[in-house]
């Protein structure tokens, strides 16, 4: 007979103590997503409207968060920049999750030589730094969001496919999968209806965490001047543009996008981790 522990007072207390942080993060994620969705209506001014006379002005009633070196309103650029800054990682995560799950499930389910081929070739990507791959692709295809997104998606794919593969391998050995086989269901049906829904929460939680990393990587690429075209508002690009302003003693236009990046990444990681925790607890 096993005794299930229904209630662990010690841990429960820690969890409630941590809850405000999670709520805060969830709120922040919601805020950023809303800002990105409603940017055209929220931004007080055209993010690319240049007002050189006012360059590097501090916060004022007219420009709530000040103006950058080219005289563009920082708040408007931040809000509009949320779009590219979120859209990029979203593309990375969507592509890497879909392809990674497909490859991971196929490798684990079919096994044999197909598993070897798929696993080895994704591990090959592991051996190659993701940023380097992205820089390579961007330098071949030139500016634009698509090239770095695809590059990073490929770089992130092995993380998802490896996780998926190990999860499916574990799920596969469960007798219920055999039971469906005996019932006459095809492998594809069993995977789509039972195995993938079973592992989805764990994979999605991992993808949420990947989202944060992808955001940092893309911002880094923008900072290097790769990826996003020069005029498009983007947080990484804003940090790059604000560099010289910092040297002149006007840090605000660079620090704000930095803070936006850091907070968004932290918020996504916290939300993702919590999700993963909850999933793990439910499965127990």
Partner 1 sequence: MTTLAIQAYRLHLPNTARPVLAGVDLTVEARETVALVGESGSGKSLTSRSALGLLPTGAGTEGTVRVNGDDVLTMTGDQLRALRTGTAAMIFQDPRAAINPLRRLGDFLTEGLNGRLAAGAATERAAEMLDAVGLPASVLGRYPGQLSGGMLQRVMIAGALMGDPALILADEPTTALDVSSQAEVVALLDDLQERFGTALLFVTHDLGLAAAISDRVYVMYAGRIVETGPAEALFNRPRHPYTAALLASTPRPDAPGGRLAAIEGRPPSLREALTGCPFAPRCPLATFLCTQQEPALLAVEAESARRAACHHSDRTGANDG
Partner 2 sequence: MRKTVLEAVGLHRAYGGVQAVDQVSFTLAEGGALGIVGESGSGKTTTARIVVGLERADAGRVLVHGQDRTEHRRGRAHRLARARQVQMVFQDPYLSLDPRTTVEAVLRETLRLHFPGADHPRRIAELLDQVGLGPREAGALPRQLSGGQRQRVAIARALAVEPAVLVLDEAVAALDVSVQAQILNLLADIREQTGIGYLFITHDLGVVRCVTEDVIVMRQGRIVESGRTAEVLAAPQHPYTRLLLDSVPRPGWDPKAIAVARRSM
Regarding 83 and contact with partner 2 (CB under 8 A), the answer is no
Least distance CB 28 / partner 1 (angstroms):
35
Least distance CB 55 / partner 2 (angstroms):
59
Regarding 9 and contact with partner 1 (CB under 8 A), the answer is yes
Distance from the Cα of residue 80 to its chain's centroid: 18
Please identify, among the stretches 1-9, 64-72, 204-212, 242-250, the one whose residues bind partner 1 according to the rule CB under 8 A: 1-9
Q: Which of 105, 108, 97, 121 lies closest to 203 in space, CA to CA?
A: 97
Token pair for residue 205? 């939680």
Least distance CB 282 / partner 1 (angstroms):
17
Instruction: Name the H helices within the chain.
Output: 9-37, 39-42, 74-110, 112-126, 130-141, 146-172, 175-183, 187-190, 196-223, 235-247, 252-283
CB 103 within 8 A of CB 228: no
**Cα–Cα distance measured from residue 30 to residue 60, given in angstroms and rounded to the nearest whole number:** 27
Regarding 184 and contact with partner 1 (CB under 8 A), the answer is no
Separation of first and last alpha carbons in the chain? 17
Regarding 186 and contact with partner 2 (CB under 8 A), the answer is yes
Q: Which is nearer to partner 2, 130 or 198 (CB)?
A: 198
194 binds, among partner 1, partner 2, none (CB under 5 to 8 A by kind): partner 2
181 binds, among partner 2, partner 1, none (CB under 5 to 8 A by kind): partner 2
Q: Which of 107, 242, 214 lies closest to 164 in space, CA to CA?
A: 107
Tell which one of 178, 225, 230, 247 touches partner 2 (CB under 8 A).
178
Regarding 110 and contact with partner 2 (CB under 8 A), the answer is no
Binding site for partner 2 (CB under 8 A): 174-176, 178-186, 193-194, 197-198
Contact positions vs partner 1 (CB under 8 A): 1, 3, 5-9
């Amino acid at each position: 007979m096993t005794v299930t522990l229904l209630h662990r007072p010690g841990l429960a207390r820690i969890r409630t103590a941590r809850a405000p942080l999670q709520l805060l993060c969830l709120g922040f994620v919601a805020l950023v997503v809303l800002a990105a969705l409603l940017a055209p209506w929220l931004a007080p001014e055209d993010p690319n409207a240049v007002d050189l006379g006012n360059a590097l002005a501090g916060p004022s009633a007219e420009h709530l968060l000040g103006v950058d070196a080219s005289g563009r309103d920082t708040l408007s650029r931040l809000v509009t920049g949320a779009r590219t800054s979120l859209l990029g990682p979203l593309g990375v995560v969507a592509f890497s999750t879909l392809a990674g799950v497909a490859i991971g499930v196929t490798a684990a389910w079919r096994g044999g030589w197909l598993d070897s081929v798929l696993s080895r070739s994704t591990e090959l990507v592991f051996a190659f730094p993701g940023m380097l791959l992205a820089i390579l692709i961007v330098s071949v295809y030139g500016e634009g969001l698509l090239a770095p997104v695809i590059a990073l998606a490929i770089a992130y794919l092995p993380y998802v496919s490896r996780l998926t593969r190990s999860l499916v391998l574990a799920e596969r050995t469960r007798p219920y999968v055999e039971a469906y086989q005996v019932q006459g269901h095809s492998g594809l049906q069993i995977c789509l209806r039972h195995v993938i829904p079973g592992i989805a929460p764990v994979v999605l939680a991992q993808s949420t965490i990947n989202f944060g990393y992808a955001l940092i990587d893309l911002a880094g690429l923008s900072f290097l001047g790769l990826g996003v075209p020069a005029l498009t508002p983007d947080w990484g690009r804003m940090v790059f543009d604000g560099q010289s302003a910092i040297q002149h003693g006007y840090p605000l236009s660079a620090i704000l996008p930095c803070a936006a990046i850091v907070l968004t990444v932290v918020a996504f990681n916290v939300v993702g981790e919590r999700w993963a925790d909850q999933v793990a607890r439910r499965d127990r």
